[in-house]
Amino acid sequence: MLRSGSVRRRHATRGMTLVEVLVAAMILGIAAGGAVASWGWASKAAANKRATEIGYALCVSEVERLKAIRYPYLSPSAIVSGAPVPSIRWFDKYGSWLGSGATTGAFRVETIVTVLIDRDNTANSEDLKEVVVETWDGNRTKMYDRARTLLTFGGV
């Protein structure tokens, strides 16, 4: 009798039951699903961060480009129905300019130049222009950045 009892104990501890295997498989499946979901979320967050950083850099770059043109050579935006019409420059997903003939791209940079002060209709140090630059995605659904600066004719 002693012998058969020890055999039973040995058989009971030898392997895993079907319930244990199913529980282990379920836990492994939940962990794998969570890992896949978090990987997708992390990849999306990195892509959004890259797009935001490129949008910001394009906005700053465009403001600096317009400031380098200098006040006398920077034409104000056209006015249609009482509102200024922005000039649009297109850039690819890496931030490279797509050329003057481009009509679409990953980033859309809109620029509006308005004359704020021109007291005597003569170009002099009393004149002031406002430059507004906005960076959007290609579909103009998400704005990444907006920058404003003032330019004077003769400097201050």
Can you give the residue ranges of every domain in the chain? 2-152
> For residues 139 and 152, is the Cβ–Cβ distance under 8 A?
no
- What is the pLDDT confidence band of residue 12, given thresholds at 50, 70 and 90? low
Instruction: For residue 89, give the nearest of 79, 77, 97, 78 by alpha carbon.
Output: 97
CA–CA distance, 76 with 121 (Å, rounded to integer): 14
Name the helix (H) or strand (E) containing 107. Answer: strand 107-117
Residue 3 pLDDT exceeds 60? no
User: What is the pLDDT at residue 108?
Assistant: 94
User: What is the pLDDT at residue 6?
Assistant: 59
Name the helix (H) or strand (E) containing 30. Answer: helix 18-69
In the 8-state DSSP scheme, what is residue 60?
A: H
User: What is the pLDDT at residue 2?
Assistant: 54
Other beta carbons within 10 angstroms of residue 141's beta carbon come to 7
Task: Give pLDDT tens digits for 100-156.
Answer: 778 888 999 999 999 887 777 766 667 889 999 999 999 999 999 999 999 887 654
Give the pTM. Answer: 0.69
CA–CA distance, 42 with 48 (Å, rounded to integer): 10
User: What is the pLDDT at residue 50?
Assistant: 87
Coil vs helix vs strand at 115:
strand
> For residues 147 and 55, is the Cβ–Cβ distance under 8 A?
no
User: What is the pLDDT at residue 25?
Assistant: 87
Instruction: For residue 153, give the nearest of 124, 130, 133 by alpha carbon.
Output: 124
Mean per-residue pLDDT of the chain: 84
